[in-house]
Amino acid sequence: MNPNFLQTPIPYLKGVGPNRADTLKSELGIETYRDLLHLFPNRYLDKTQYYKISQLQSSGADVQVVGKIIHLKTVEQKRGKRLVAKFVDETGEMELVWFRAQKWIRENLKLNEPYVVFGRVNRYGSTFSMPHPEMELLKEHQQGLKISMQPIYPSTEKLSAKGITNRVISKMVQQLLLESKGLFQESLPTYILEELRLLPKSESLLNIHFPKSQELLARAQFRLKFEELFFVQLQLISKKLVRKQKIKGLPFGAVGENFSTFFNKHLPFELTNAQKKVIKEIRNDLGSNAQMNRLLQGDVGSGKTIVALMCILLAIDNGFQACLMAPTEILANQHYHGLKELLGKMNVGIALLTGSTKKSERNRIHEALQNGDLHILVGTHAVLEDKVQFTNLGLAIIDEQHRFGVAQRSKLWHKNNTPPHILVMTATPIPRTLAMSLYGDLDVSVIDELPPGRKPVKTVHRFDANRLKVFQFIKDEIKKGRQVYVVYPLIKESEALDYKDLMDGYESIARDFPMPEYQISIVHGKMKPADKDYEMDRFVRGETQIMVATTVIEVGVNVPNASVMIIESAERFGLSQLHQLRGRVGRGADQSYCILMTGNKLSEDAKTRLQTMVKTSDGFEIAEVDLKLRGPGDLMGTQQSGLLNLKIADIVKDNQILQTARYHALQLLKKDPALQNPEHASVKNAYATLAMGKDIWGYIS
């Protein structure tokens, strides 16, 4: 087959033409033969069986019947008319009914000729009827492509309105397969096909559109899913290998005085085994000649900050500066104060740069960065401004990475002649499946245990009817000197409603917890930043015992004395939000509690979310459940939902195939990184075609 055949614009396919081509492009993004070939069916109707009229049941299933039309009539009804045909075989009779396009149908139907009709059967009294059946003359049916299972393709209202029905799309795909003679270039090496017993490419494409049997359909699906994921992994892994070979890193050879002093004298607690393991992985990266690009995942409170600081001290010991960037001022402030406290009286220069930093302080920071007096700069996006110039930036740490875009990260790269080492941190646990797909070109480290002395938070689900008992429990905790959060949902579309919920909640709490015995803080989105800070500050200092808030407290509040988290209307929160909120308590040595309050009416998904929260505090397990419930697009947020624009594979359901594909892509690149071996010619060609087209993804990281 001509290798450019699949690049042919779609209007050239027989039966398409310019008007249909425009609709196909706007509705399904189909511009070339390749796009149409990769429009895979959503489901299939099994046409392997022919029923006799006497065998019909009113099961609501689609069935196929062979018979003749012996009579046609038009029946008046309340609104308009319907066309009714009497359809018979040797065992009985039924009706075929049309409510639309009656004139055209009447002119084209042939009486007393054998037809195959296909559709859903309804029963009225003792008579069966089939509305708007698909019809084909028996002789044409016998001559056509033997389709035992009929494909059902994705559709839209506009496609149907323009007459591009499922049957029309099916005919277009048949035409394409006829023109190509069903010959498509193989894209995988022979040894992989043999080892995994995969169907050849041509056979897979034929059976994905027009399966000859259930078994061949399953094998075609496996083959095409494997191929799609294989090329995603090939791209990610080769990017990683190229980066490691071509981008030289700054060698951090020495473990010097700062690192040793901190380790021996200032560590606030013994490092966990997970922290030690991660520091070792990072030290290996920093000591090699390649630039580090590592993702550090650790649940809320797992001690990522200590790991970040020890990496920063390694940079300083080797004569380099470091920066730590966070997405919000609250979080940047918290990092700054946290690091300052950990460093104690060590002779290390550290400064904070955010949008609120005064001009005189900014000038001082710029000067200290350039003359080398400043070793660590903590800040928000302000760090990226062109005015901020380092003498020699050696390490850039980015917290909550999913909030920063690619362009922002590349700015950090250009702050130094040799790109700095990059450590990306996230407290949003990313399931392995997603990490392999989204961050496949980063090395991944995981801190999967909490520091000693941390007790897991006890989580319970309570209905609104139990509110008085919950309030009594809060009073008991406050008597012990503890503090409490009460959080209300924040859903942008219904700000007025959210505000009302919050104020109603606040009033009912104020009634049950009267002053002066109890003091309550309130924080919500409509407040001025200064007022918010004032209320937060009162709670942090322990002047108020209860903090009533919308989810603004999700990130970056650290009050070790707060031991109870009440989440109101918990069914309205996503799993990752619930998990992040729960992470706000359990930061001190006391036993902490998270109480999920809901009404009685709960959807199945909401029940699953609440059961998961009660059952486990493992962020990774929670993230896996979240991924199954929401799918990859939602989980990563809108700016990344287009990332996994996969045509047939689903990284959640096809997790096993993904792992197999990654393994084989890795083995192939170890053996032949430049794809020069003749046995990999097919892979190289397919890879080049993908890179040209719109099928390969602009991955993050």
The predicted-structure confidence for 441-492, as pLDDT tens digits, reads as follows 678 888 877 777 778 899 999 998 999 999 999 999 999 999 999 998 865 5
**Is 244 within a domain?**
no
Nearest to 646 by CA among 239, 206, 229: 229
**Rounded to 5 degrees, what are φ and ψ at 117?**
-110, 150
**Same domain (yes/no): 479, 399:** no
CA 498 centroid distance within chain? 27
* 678 domain residue, yes or no: no
Residues 72-93: what's their mean pLDDT? 91
**Residues 134 and 154 both lie in one domain:** no
Is 463 found in the same domain as 415? no
String of b and e for 271-302 (b: at least 16 CB within 10 Å)? bbebbebbbebbbebbbeebbbbbbbbbbbbb
The tally of domains found in the chain comes to: 4
Q: Do 90 and 153 lie in a common domain? A: no
278-284 mean pLDDT: 92
Q: Give the integer Cα–Cα distance in Å for 203 and 215.
A: 13
Query: Is residue 328's pLDDT more than 60?
Result: yes
What average pLDDT does the segment 205-210 reach? 93
Give a yes or no: residue 251 inside a domain: no
What pLDDT is recorded for position 171?
A: 93
pLDDT of residue 695 exceeding 60? no
Residue 303 sits in the same domain as residue 359: yes
pLDDT above 90 coverage of the chain, percent: 41
Specify the pLDDT at position 456. Answer: 83
How far apart CA 168 and CA 165 sit, in angstroms, is 5
Answer whether 446's CB lies under 8 Å from 297's CB: yes
Looking at the structure, tell me whether residues 135 and 153 fall in a common domain.
no
Q: Is residue 636 part of a domain?
A: no
Terminal CA-to-CA distance of the chain, rounded, Å? 38
CATH of the domain at 564: 3.40.50.300
Q: Of 239-248, 309-318, 362-371, 669-678, give the lowest mean pLDDT range.
A: 239-248
* Tens-place pLDDT, residues 147-168: 678 899 999 888 988 889 998 9
**Residue located via tokens 């600081």:** 309
- Does residue 641 register a pLDDT over 50? no
Burial of 519 from C-beta contacts in 10 A (0-12 / 13-18 / 19+): middle
* Same-domain pairing of 287 and 398: yes
* Confidence (pLDDT) at 552: 55
Instruction: Say which DSSP state 167 is in.
Output: H
Same domain, residue pair 285 and 329: yes
Side chain identity at 69, as an amino acid letter?
I
Of 205, 65, 203, 213, the closest CA to residue 149 belongs to: 213
Residue 240 located in a structural domain: no
Distance CA 468, CA 567 (A): 15
Is residue 204 a part of any domain in this protein? no
- Provide mean pLDDT across the span 65-89: 91
CB atoms within 10 A of CB 575: 23
Instruction: State the Cα–Cα distance between residues 333 and 322, nearest whole angstrom.
Output: 17
- Does the residue 236 lie in any domain? no
Does 95 lie in the same domain as 25? no
**Structure tokens of 587?**
């930061």
Reduce the DSSP state of residue 298 to 3 states and report it: strand
pTM of the model: 0.64
Calpha distance 531→510 (Å, rounded): 19
User: Six-digit token pair at 364?
Assistant: 């001082």
Closest CA to 377 of 388, 387, 407: 388
Q: Do the Cβ atoms of 324 and 384 come closer than 8 Å?
A: no
C-alpha distances in angstroms, 209 versus 76, 143, 293, 436?
Answer: 41, 18, 42, 29
Say if residue 138 is in the same domain as residue 169: no
pLDDT for 553 equals: 57
- pLDDT for 554 beyond 50: no
- Residue 382 or 196, more confident: 196
pLDDT of residue 60: 67
242 CB contacts (<8 Å, ≥6 apart)? none
pLDDT digits (tens, 9 = 90+) for 497-549: 666 777 888 888 999 999 889 999 988 877 787 888 888 888 888 999 999 88
Domain limit, last residue, from 549, 584, 616: 616
- In 3-state terms, what secondary structure has residue 19? helix
Is residue 340 included in any domain, yes or no? Answer: yes
In a shared domain, residues 487 and 584: yes
Nearest to 619 by CA among 432, 484, 401: 432
| End residue of a domain, out of 94, 129, 146 | 146
Determine the Cα–Cα distance for residues 85 and 161; give it in Å rounded to an integer: 25
3-state helix, strand, coil in the chain (%, to 5): 45, 20, 35
DSSP assignment, residue 263? I
Check residue 639 and give its pLDDT: 35
pLDDT tens column, 210-268: 988 878 889 999 999 999 999 988 988 888 787 777 777 888 888 888 999 998 888 88
Res. 301: pLDDT tops 60: yes
Does residue 696 have a pLDDT over 50?
no
Q: What is the pLDDT of residue 664?
A: 96
**pLDDT, position 690:** 76
Most confident range, picked from 311-315, 338-342, 615-619: 311-315
Which carries the bigger pLDDT value, residue 621 or residue 486?
486
Residues 400 and 335 in one domain: yes
pLDDT of 102 above 90 = no
Maximum mean pLDDT: which of 518-532, 643-657, 687-701: 518-532
For the residues 133-160, what does the mean pLDDT come to? 84
Pairing of strands 293-298, 443-447: parallel
With tokens 């302080």, the residue in question is 361
Which of 403, 419, 447 marks a domain boundary? 447
Helix and strand numbers (H, E) in the chain are 24, 22
- Residue 495 reports pLDDT greater than 70: no
Q: Is the pLDDT of residue 416 over 70?
A: yes
* 311-316 average pLDDT score: 94
Measure the CA–CA gap between 357 and 281, rounded to whole angstroms: 35
Identify the domain containing residue 10 by its residue range: 1-47+148-185
